[in-house]
Structure 1
Amino acid sequence: MTTLSRWMRTLAGAVALGASFLATSAASAQTAENEFDQVFAAAQKDIVQGPRDVKLSSQAVLHLPDGKLYIPQPYAAKLMHAMGNPGDYSDLEGVVFQRGDDGWFATLRFEKSGYIKDDDAKHWDAADMLKSFKEGTEASNEERKKMGGRALEITGWAQEPTYAADTHRLVWAMKSREVGAPANEPQGVNYNTYALGREGYMSLNLVTGLDDLPKYKGEAQQLLGALEFNDGKRYADFNSSTDKVAEYGLAALVLGVGAKKLGLLAVIGAFFLKFAKIILLAVVGFGGAIMKLFGRKKSETAES
């Protein structure tokens, strides 16, 4: 059985926040594969290979490291949809893959929230934040079930919220699973990293399997370190006389964004649990297509 077939079999019957997934028939599997290939074929001329600088809106630049591939919009959103990810991608800048078959990918977004004050990071309590996540998730389970989703439970931090005041970088990751799921069932995880700027924040979200997080979180940290705001857009460039200040601080950013990713806000689909695991399998399954496109593009570059 191919990886794609295993992915489609895993996909069978899975529902996240009422979003119906693809059927497991051979025809459906072929359709999914074809859609993915079509997106990559259309995006080929726009795929960026590191090392190279990638402009992100008018806000920042990503110094894309060697060995990484960057797929920009509009192909990034189409790629996410092709992998079975519903949702609004209007703020998505692009998607980063590792060249080859490593089991992760990362999404890059910019949220024009305004300047986020970071003074509450000195006083937050990770245990209280975890409790809030758990209580909110439990309270939302009935609504989640009405939407066709499955009850979720929070099992702990994969990484407690950590903020570096000198670089204005925030990192955190939450563990969750379906209620009643076997303890040994593989879990997906979002490793969330943020870079604060003058007008909002860049989020770099690495998606992988929970067991693989120790192996791959360095990739997210490398990308976060390679992210640089433009002159005039840096956190230190804030002007209290003219600039918009966000209505929330760092703790609310973690809780609010986390709530969206858990489905506490019904308008957004989650990337966790089986969903993240499904995406992981898809990325591994389509690694050959990525490499094939990379090889062709490298050949074209050499010829030119």
Structure 2
Amino acid sequence: MTDSRVNQDNNHRKDTKMRYLLALTMLLFSTLLLADSDQDLENYFTNIESEIVYGPGTVLIEDAATFQLAYGQAFLNKKHIEDISRLLGTEPEKNVAGWIIPGTPDETSTESGWDVIKVEYADSGHISDDVDWDYDRIMKYLTDDQSERGNEVLGWVEKPNYSQASHNLSWSFNINTFEDENYDVYQNIVLGRSDIMGFSIIAPSINRSNNLVMIHTLLDSASFNPHHQYDDYQAGIDKDSTLGLAALVGGVAAKKLGLFAVILALLAKFGKFIALAIGGLAVLLKLKKKNT
């Protein structure tokens, strides 16, 4: 086979894979899309590629909080996600602050046991960190909530844990989806003076050990800036929240603030396709780079 024929075949495979990934990515947002949405999305990715933040590096959220991206991680900011939503005819999420996806600025291949980390930021008011965990009650809520979505909760991966020093809250649980796929759901919140920053991930359970290390590393790197930190709170001046830590984990606060809802709903709706669809964003960007 001639070199030109080999190149044509390689380009055809890349083009086919790119279009497949585009289709899966669009599935995340809507099943009813305009005919030219794939081209609009492809053009948009090309235009924003230089704006994507690659790790290692620092990401600033709302001029109030930061976290560290590791090598092999890339960040799409709030505007990117809002623009993509509008391109696909859906409403942007209320509290979206961005997505972390696997990716590097060159052609280096990255392997990860996850496909997207959803970053959220919400004006919650100051949340009291006094808590008396009732794990059974929280698990019952999670079980009932996931059952409504067609998923079965199998148990805790890590029970809710709060650090008084860092004001970081984390918990995770294992589910079996309606398509009989086994996933872990990781949810993490950093408390600020009157705001909270959250990270949520859904990933195959087979990658649990590596994912736990990755998410705790990310959470440990997250903090609020001076004047926005939890201990900067001033009673009588700052807005107080009626919510507590147990409410954050138990879902009351999540529903009230709109946190975590979309990524869980997407998993329930699209099952095993969600990982391919979101992960396709990172692969798409790398394919675009190779073709330019």
TM-score, normalised on structure 2? 0.74
The correspondence for 1:54, drawn from 45, 56, 59, is: 59
Query: Aligned pair 1:251/2:256, yes or no?
Result: no
Instruction: Give the Cα–Cα distance (whole angstroms) in 1 for the partners of residues 288 and 49 of structure 2.
Output: 7
Please tell me the residue identity of whatever aligns with 2:78.
Q
Instruction: Give the Cα–Cα distance (whole angstroms) in 1 for the partners of residues 141 and 204 of structure 2.
Output: 24
Q: Which moved more, 1:94-103 or 1:67-76?
A: 94-103
- 1:20-169 aligned at under 5 Å gives the runs 21=31, 34=39, 36-79=41-84, 88-99=92-103, 100-102=110-112, 103-120=114-131, 123-135=132-144, 141=148, 151-169=150-168
State the match for 1:218 in structure 2.
213
**In the superposition, relative to structure 1, how do residues 111 and 251 fare at CA in structure 2: closer, same or farther (>3 Å)?**
same
- 1:188-267 aligned at under 5 Å gives the runs 188-256=183-251, 260=255
Unaligned runs of 5+ in 2: 1-15, 104-109
The correspondence for 1:279, drawn from 262, 274, 288, is: 274
Unaligned runs of 5+ in 1: 142-149, 298-304
CA contact (8 A) 2:117 2:200 kept: yes
Instruction: Give the Cα–Cα distance (whole angstroms) in 2 for the partners of residues 259 and 126 of structure 1.
Output: 17
Q: CA RMSD in A?
A: 4.0
Per the TM alignment, residue 98 of structure 1 is displaced from its structure 2 partner at its CA by 2.1
- 1:176-187 aligned at under 5 Å gives the runs 176-178=175-177, 181=178, 185-187=180-182
Instruction: Give the Cα–Cα distance (whole angstroms) in 1 for the partners of residues 263 and 57 of structure 2.
Output: 32
After superposition, the C-alpha distances for 1:134-162 in whole angstroms (9 at most, x for unaligned) are 34556xx4xxxxxxxx6444332233211
Instruction: Give the Cα–Cα distance (whole angstroms) in 1 for the partners of residues 235 and 141 of structure 2.
Output: 31
Task: Give identity over the alignment, percent.
Answer: 24
Please tell me the residue identity of whatever aligns with 1:112.
D
CA contact (8 A) 1:198 1:236 kept: yes
Per the TM alignment, residue 104 of structure 1 is displaced from its structure 2 partner at its CA by 1.9
Instruction: Give the Cα–Cα distance (whole angstroms) in 1 for the partners of residues 111 and 196 of structure 2.
Output: 30
2:181 alignment partner, SS class: coil
> How many positions carry a matched residue from both structures?
268
